[in-house]
Amino acid sequence: AKEQGKDRVVLFENFMAENVIQRIQLEELLRDAITKNEFFLVFQPQIDSTNNSIIGAETLIRWNHPSKGRVSPAQFIPVLESSGLIIKVGYWVFEQSCILLSQWLKQGTWSDTQLIGINVSPQQFNDPNFVETIIEILQQTGAPARCIDIEITEGLLIDNIEDVITKMIQLKSLGIRFSIDDFGTGYSSLSYLKKLPVDVLKIDQSFIRDIPNDEQSIAIVETIVSIAQHLKLKCIAEGVETKEQLDFLTSINCNRIQGYFFSKPLEVDDFIKFINDKKSV
């Protein structure tokens, strides 16, 4: 039994070492993925279910490594975060989104009433140069601030909330909107909602998944929709995959929908095709 215990320790240590090495290797590969053009963006449409129109799209990053192939964001985003690379990559995502947004507006593909949602991690938001860098990118790309919706998470609100509010007010004065991503999953109190200049609550897909069968999920989603209504915020449901989920959300007047039911995240060409197909209907 003692031998077995020792084996387990060795196994565990190997596993840990392997993990550490994998992480370091991954970090090394990620370090020049930008310059080697291995990242690209996909866009997931957000739909108003009352008339099937496109109200916006969320930008999501993808990584295609020449030999590893597609690596999922669930795997590499945490490494970008722990290494601090998320700041640089986050600005890259922001800039690329703005370049595309400008093009689409010029081409008439997109209209300035439609939003582009961009994820900003707490580390990037807390970068002392965050506000200036965003303003610079908007100026250089010609992307209008009123089309930009920055998705933040509750993790950002745990400390230095005053600083967060100051930055949000600066960006909001330009016309940028703010959404709280994965609303209700973070460890934070609701009291911040009174102080925070946010526009949208995004209902996390973990609450949508078991609808309409799970009573607790139903209660949580109804509550979030009601909070949004009372605070005069918009509300969008994420991870909507089925007609049943859509029907439930319609029945409680939650009409902004993002999820596979309408579309998976799409590469640029397919996204433009999706937009044009909707127009020709």
**Residue 186 main-chain phi, psi, to 5 deg:** -85, 165
Please say whether the beta carbons of 232 and 268 come within 8 A: no
What gap in Å lies between CA 211 and CA 230, rounded to an integer? 23
Considering only the stretches 86-94, 145-153, 218-226, 272-280, report the one whose residues sit in contact with Ca ion under the rule CB under 5 A. Answer: 145-153
Residue 178 CB, nearest distance to Ca ion (Å)? 12
Q: Is the dihedral of CA 96, 112, 194, 208 positive or negative?
A: negative
Task: Look at residue 184 and give the partner it binds from ligand C2E, Ca ion, none, a contact being a CB closer than 5 to 8 Å depending on partner kind.
Answer: none
Three-state secondary-structure class, residue 280? helix
Residue 256 CB, nearest distance to ligand C2E (Å)? 13
Rounded to 10 deg, the angle between the 85-107 and 2-31 helix axes is 50
Residue 181 CB, nearest distance to ligand C2E (Å)? 5
Q: Which residue is nearest to ligand C2E (CB)?
A: 259
Q: For residue 135, give the amino acid letter.
A: I
Our CB check for ligand C2E shows the closer of 94 and 104 to be: 94
* Contact status: 181 vs Ca ion (CB under 5 A): yes
Our CB check for Ca ion shows the closer of 127 and 181 to be: 181
Residue 124 CB, nearest distance to ligand C2E (Å)? 7
Residues forming the site for ligand C2E (CB under 6 A): 44, 60-61, 72-74, 77, 86, 90, 93, 119, 121, 181-182, 205, 238-241, 259-260, 265
* Contact status: 182 vs Ca ion (CB under 5 A): yes
Task: Look at residue 121 and give the partner it binds from Ca ion, ligand C2E, none, a contact being a CB closer than 5 to 8 Å depending on partner kind.
Answer: ligand C2E
What the block records as the tokens of 211 is 């609808």
Spell out a b/e string for 191-221, using b for 16 or more CB atoms within 10 Å of the CB, else e: ebbeebebbbbbbbbebbeebeeeeebbebb
What the block records as the tokens of 11 is 């196994």
Task: Look at residue 154 and give the partner it binds from ligand C2E, Ca ion, none, a contact being a CB closer than 5 to 8 Å depending on partner kind.
Answer: none
**Residue 5 main-chain phi, psi, to 5 deg:** -60, -40
Among positions 114, 119, 121, 124, the unique one binding Ca ion when judged by CB under 5 A: 119
Task: Look at residue 95 and give the partner it binds from Ca ion, ligand C2E, none, a contact being a CB closer than 5 to 8 Å depending on partner kind.
Answer: none
Our CB check for ligand C2E shows the closer of 72 and 216 to be: 72
User: Can you tell me which residue has the tokens 């963006």?
Assistant: 41
Our CB check for Ca ion shows the closer of 31 and 126 to be: 126
List C-alpha distances in Å: 96 to 2, 43, 90, 137, 239. 57, 12, 10, 10, 24
What gap in Å lies between CA 126 and CA 87, rounded to an integer? 9
Task: Return residues touching Ca ion (CB under 5 A).
Answer: 119, 151, 181-182
